[in-house]
């Protein structure tokens, strides 16, 4: 079975706990065929891109790992590019300097560079937050360079963690369908983010109904990612992810090499 994990953070990420080499070793031990290391490049409105990542040392390390483990594991070099619309010039400068295999486009921070992680959902109406978040996703889809859109229901993670409520994402069905169609028409896709399963903290992102909506819209490009920040979670739910894709009507999983999608039959 060709097992992948294409959303992985190492100690180069501000919240990563695993040494990069430990991530590769964990993937080999779990029998994975391919991984992409996707440390954070969150873009802030008033800071240079180097604020979030030791870029030169990161890039050399990633390239060395890809070469070192090439006979045991396909290691691709990627990034999770967060909200590039906050500072398009800095996002563009980063991407021009560091050629990559794969770019996850995400939204973590919205107004005033505040991460959704820091929102108080016990005090806020999550529906209003979600509607605003989806507007940010649409802006990302329309104007910025990436290969797949990451954890498209990101607020769900923290709404559930803080309140125990599972957000009704299908209330925004039309807005998500519009975003999916933009991605599909431009040759891009989404990920099935498995962090909720890997951490035992909830559902996938997107949740099942929204995943099926993406497929119904014609979506075929889809990657699997544990969003692991510790080595123990690397590839831990890769097989389960393929089962979920198959149940939703997908025939292939996708990974990227040199920014080009590669398809493997499930």
The mean per-residue pLDDT over the stretch 197-224 comes to 95
Please compute the mean of the pLDDT values over residues 15-35 and round it to a whole number.
Answer: 97
Taking phi over 0 as left and psi of -120 to 50 as alpha, with beta for the rest, 193 belongs to beta
Question: What is the rounded average pLDDT of the residues 27-41?
Answer: 98
- pLDDT of 65: 98
How confident is the model over 53-104, as pLDDT tens digits?
A: 999 999 999 999 999 999 999 999 999 999 999 999 999 999 999 999 999 9
Note the pLDDT of residue 200. 83
Asked whether the predicted pLDDT for residue 211 surpasses 80, the reply is yes
158-191 as b/e: b if 16+ CB within 10 A: bbbeeeeeebebeebeebbebbbebbbeeebbbb
Whether 201 has a pLDDT exceeding 80, the answer reads: no
Cα separations in angstroms, 225 against 176, 193, 210, 244, 249: 20, 5, 17, 13, 18
Tell me the average pLDDT across 212-221.
Answer: 98
- The pLDDT, as a whole number, for residue 203 is 92
Q: So what's the pLDDT on residue 160?
A: 93
pLDDT-based confidence at residue 20 (cuts at 50, 70, 90): very high
Q: How many residues does the chain have?
A: 266
Asked whether the predicted pLDDT for residue 180 surpasses 90, the reply is yes
The pLDDT assigned to 215 comes to 98
- Computed over every residue of the chain, the mean pLDDT equals 97
Is 202 a residue whose pLDDT tops 90? no
Place of tokens 């240079």: 48
Res 116: pLDDT: 98
pLDDT at 73: 97
32 pLDDT above the threshold of 80: yes
Per-residue pLDDT, 218: 98
Q: Which residues pair with 37 in a beta bridge?
A: 8, 77
Which residues, including other chains, have CB under 8 Å from residue 75's CB and lie 6 or more apart?
A: 24, 34, 35, 36, 37, 62, 65, 66, 69
pLDDT digits (tens, 9 = 90+) for 120-141: 999 999 999 999 999 999 999 9
Closest by CA position to 20, among listed 71, 78, 104? 78
Residue 19's contacts (CB-CB under 8 Å, 6 or more residues apart) are: 10, 11, 231
What pLDDT does residue 166 have? 93
The span from the CA of 213 to the CA of 84, in Å, is 26
The residues, any chain, with a CB within 8 Å of residue 82's CB and separated by 6 or more, are 40, 41, 42, 43, 106, 107, 108, 109
């Amino acid at each position: 079975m060709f097992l992948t994990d294409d959303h992985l953070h190492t100690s180069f990420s501000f919240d990563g706990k695993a040494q990069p080499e430990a991530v590769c070793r964990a993937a080999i031990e779990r029998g994975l065929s391919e991984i992409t290391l996707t440390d954070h490049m969150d873009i802030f409105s008033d800071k240079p891109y180097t604020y979030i990542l030791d870029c030169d040392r990161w890039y050399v390390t990633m390239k060395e790992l890809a070469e070192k483990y090439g006979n045991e594991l396909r290691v691709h070099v990627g990034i999770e590019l967060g909200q590039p619309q906050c500072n398009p010039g800095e996002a563009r400068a980063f991407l021009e300097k560091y050629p990559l295999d794969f770019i996850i486009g995400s939204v973590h921070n919205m107004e005033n560079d505040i991460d959704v992680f820091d929102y108080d959902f016990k005090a806020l109406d999550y529906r209003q937050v979600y509607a605003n978040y989806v507007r940010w996703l649409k802006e990302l889809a329309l104007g910025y360079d990436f290969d797949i859109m990451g954890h498209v229901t990101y607020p769900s993670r923290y709404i559930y963690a803080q309140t125990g409520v599972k957000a009704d994402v299908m209330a925004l069905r039309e807005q998500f369908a519009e975003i999916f169609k933009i991605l599909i028409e431009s040759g891009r896709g989404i990920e099935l983010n498995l962090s909720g399963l890997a951490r035992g903290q909830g559902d996938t992102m997107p949740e099942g109904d929204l995943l099926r909506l993406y497929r119904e819209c014609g979506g075929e490009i889809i990657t699997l990612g544990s969003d692991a920040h510790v080595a123990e979670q690397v590839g831990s739910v890769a097989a389960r992810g393929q089962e979920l894709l198959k149940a939703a009507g997908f025939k292939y999983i996708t990974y990227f090499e040199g920014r080009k999608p590669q398809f493997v039959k499930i």
